[in-house]
Chains A and B, each alone.
Chain A
Amino acid sequence: MTFADNILSVRGLSKDFVLHTIDGRRVEALRGVDLDILPGEHVALAGSSGAGKSSLLKCIYRTYEPSAGSVVLRLRSGSRIDLTLLSDQEMSYLRGRDIGYVSQFLRAEPRRGPLDIVARAGVSRGMDRNTARDAAAVSLKRLNIDEKLWDVHASVLSGGEKQRINLAAGTISSPQLLLLDEPVSALDPANREAALDLIGDLATQGVAVLAVFHDVEAMERLASRIVLMRDGRVESSGEPSSMLEILTQGARR
């Protein structure tokens, strides 16, 4: 494998927060992260809370603006582009098309039904209306969202239902790179199973996934590689089996 094969190449990515409301205090969230991800690779980020896992996802997606470093993404067109150099408008355009992000919570949405939310996500990424609707239906069915709820305002649904709708919306079209931030944290075992299944399929479609899960089991099942973070840096990286051993040992200690 060469550099050119990577979907994502992160180099020296740093993020400092300057808190003007607290006497200009400086908080370092990332301190020079290097990371490569190949097509179809599923990389799980591990580490204690505050290690910088979510910050890394947000810096890639520009929900946080990186302080230094580069984030090179290979677009569908094959060209490679440093996301940190894009204008906000260009970044906004790439979002959802080439790079997806599924957070723990459903973003503030108008009062719409699940089918509408998921289908619109598809349309905003360039799918035509009917295709998007069909794909949305397939995805919602797969995630066990009761058809009776498809046109009910999402705001009245349970946390677990909202999370699945969010996942369905985030995965309706296959981006080059999908960022997942605890996408199954609120799900019961059966629904969690269906969600993990869906995420697992993405890798087989060639989508590169960078994920944060709160449990080891999900990582074990999906990850092709695990990256351990600590204090805003990558501490180690390797095969799931060996990494999980380190992680569980760490937990026992």
Chain B
Amino acid sequence: MTTDWALRVSSLGKIHGSADLRALEDTGPDIGTAKSAITGSIVAAWDVGFEVSPGEALGVIGESGSGKSTVMRCIAGDQPSTSGEVHLRTVDDGRTNVLELDPSARRRLRISDLAVVYQDPAEGLRLNVTAGGNIAEALTAAGWRHFGRIRDRAAELLERTEVPHSRMDDLVGTFSGGMRQRVQLAKALANEPPVLLLDEPTTGLDASVAAGVLDLIRNLLEETGVAAVVVSHDFAVIEMLTTRCVVMNHGRIVEAGLTDRLLEDPHHPYSQRLVGAARA
């Protein structure tokens, strides 16, 4: 019954400002702030660790400013981290700490080892390019050079994410928010990455649209067997998509557990407040 991880994060930390570690002494959930009075720096995330298996979705929940997006960006390589290790099973069979790769090698991981879906589709897509063209970017980056096959694959991916075929050759900038998010998902999945990071994937969408996108994500997670990390402040999203999750507060993980357990039996004072607020 061993569980083999696709993504392993350990001791991940990000400090804005002076890297003086005395900042750790007067920050965190117990102190109630992420800003150190000693050093003046902000401990956005510290000692964050978790593993995610293929086919599993892990939630990262917390209020804005809790450090959850920082963690995601450090894993994705969008932001340099101060400390810690991130291992991907597909990179050197998990032996390499990808945080130590040079920026260029780091970016290459985003082609087919690790994909990200951002809250703002403009971060993951080019709005002045067609839906098919956006997917073509992911495919050509991975070496696809056959126009017909690129078209077929793009059509297949868009069908899977429920984007009408008639819109394949329209500029993404003309799409609605929900439709952009579907294109972003199609692009993220283009090269069948073993690890997928989703940062508030439905935040900002109308409730009914968000529900549809959530349904889609849930289906995709089940069908692809990808290892997913879902960052969200919304318990409904976490409940629908994940089986396990971690709760973050002032840059630290305060609690980890099965998602239903965290919702029904939260232990940490902060988790209890968070769940209480969501349930009210």
A108 touches B236 (CB 8 A): yes
Is B53 in contact with chain A by the CB < 8 A criterion? yes
Contact: A111 with B211, CB < 8 Å?
yes
- Evaluate contact between A108 and B56: CB separation under 8 angstroms: no
Given A88-B256, A88-B258, A108-B239, A21–B273 Cβ distance below 8 Å?
yes
A63 on interface, CB distance cutoff 8 Å: yes
Within 8 Å by CB of A92, from B240, B243, B272, lies B243
Chain B residue nearest to A77 (CB atoms) is: B1
A64 to B1, CA, bound (A): 22
Is A19 a contact of B3 with CB atoms below 8 Å?
no
Taking CB atoms, residues of chain B closer than 8 Å to A109 are 240
Contact with A along B39-57 (1 / 0, CB 8 A): 0000000000001010010
Closest-CB distance, B243 to chain A (whole angstroms):
5
Nearest-neighbour CB distance to chain A for B13, whole angstroms, equals 23
Please give, as numbers and ranges, the residues of chain B lying within 8 Å of A91 by CB-CB distance. Answer: 258
Using CB atoms, name the residue of chain A closest to B51.
Answer: A89
Contact residues, A140-198 vs B (CB, 8 A): none
Residue pair A21, B276 in contact (C-beta under 8 Å): yes
Interface of B, helix, strand, loop or mixed by DSSP: helix
- The contact string, 1 if C-beta is below 8 Å from chain B, for chain A 44-67, is 000000000000001000111100
Residue contact B265 to A64, C-beta cutoff 8 Å: yes
| Chain A residues closer than 8 Å to B211, beta-carbon distance | 111
How many contacting A-B pairs (Cβ < 8 A)?
Answer: 64
Q: How far is the CA of A25 from the CA of B51 in the complex (A)?
A: 33
In whole Å, how far is B43's beta carbon from the nearest beta carbon of chain A?
23
Contacts of B140 in A (CB 8 A): none
The interface residues of chain B lying within 8 Å CB-to-CB of A20 are: 268-269, 272-273
B216 / chain A contacts, CB cutoff of 8 Å: 110
Query: Contact mask B181-209 → A, CB, 8 Å, 1/0?
Result: 00000000000000000000000000000
Known A-B contacts A18-B267, A88-B244, A89-B3; the reply to A62 vs B258 at CB < 8 A is: yes
Taken residue by residue from 251 to 277, chain B's Cβ proximity to chain A (1 for < 8 Å, 0 otherwise) reads as 000001110110011011100110010
Measured CB to CB, the closest approach of chain A to B269, in angstroms, equals 4
Nearest chain-B residue to A64 (Cβ)?
B265
Across the interface, which residues of B come within 8 angstroms of A88, CB to CB?
Answer: 244, 256-258, 261
Residue on B nearest A19 in the bound complex, by CB:
B272
For residue B255, give the distance in angstroms from its CB to the closest CB of chain A. Answer: 10
Residue in B3, B218, B261, B265 whose beta carbon sits within 8 Å of that of A17 in the complex: B265
Is B215 in contact with chain A by the CB < 8 A criterion?
Answer: yes
Chain A contacts for B222, CB-based, 8 A: 120, 124
User: Distance (Å) between the CB of B189 and the closest chain A CB?
Assistant: 17
Q: Which residues of chain B come closer than 8 Å to A65, judged between CB atoms? A: 257, 261, 265, 267
Q: Is the CB of A21 within 8 A of B269?
A: yes
> Within 8 Å CB of A110, what residues of B?
214-216, 218-219, 240
State whether the Cβ of A90 lies closer than 8 Å to any Cβ in chain B: yes
Within 8 A of B (CB), among A1-37: 17-21
- A91 CB, min distance to chain B CBs, angstroms: 6
Shortest Cβ distance from residue B209 to the other chain A in the assembled complex, whole angstroms: 13
A111-B215 in contact (CB<8A): yes
* Known A108-B239, A111-B215; contact A90-B267, beta-carbon cutoff 8 A: no
- Residues A70-126 near B (CB distance < 8 A): 87-94, 108-112, 120, 124
Does the CB pair A108–B264 fall under 8 Å? no
CA distance A58 to B256 in the complex (A): 18
| Bound Cα distance A63, B264 (Å) | 7
Docked pose: A87 CA to B53 CA in angstroms: 13
Instruction: Determine the distance from Cα of A203 to Cα of B256 in the docked complex, in whole angstroms.
Output: 35
Distance in angstroms between the alpha carbons of A212 and B51 in the assembled complex: 35
- Which residues from 205 to 240 on chain B have a C-beta closer than 8 Å to any C-beta of chain A? 211-212, 214-216, 218-219, 222, 236, 239-240
- Say yes or no: A63 contacts B56, CB within 8 Å: no
Q: Tell me the complex Cα distance, A251–B236, Å.
A: 40
Residues of A contacting B258 with CB < 8 Å? 62-63, 88, 91-92
CA distance A88 to B255 in the complex (A): 12
Cβ–Cβ contact A89 & B244, under 8 A: yes
- List 10 A-B pairs, minimum CB-CB distance, nearest first: A110-B215, A20-B269, A64-B265, A89-B3, A110-B218, A63-B260, A92-B243, A108-B240, A20-B272, A88-B258
Show the binding face of A for B, using Cβ within 8 Å. 17-21, 58, 62-65, 87-94, 108-112, 120, 124
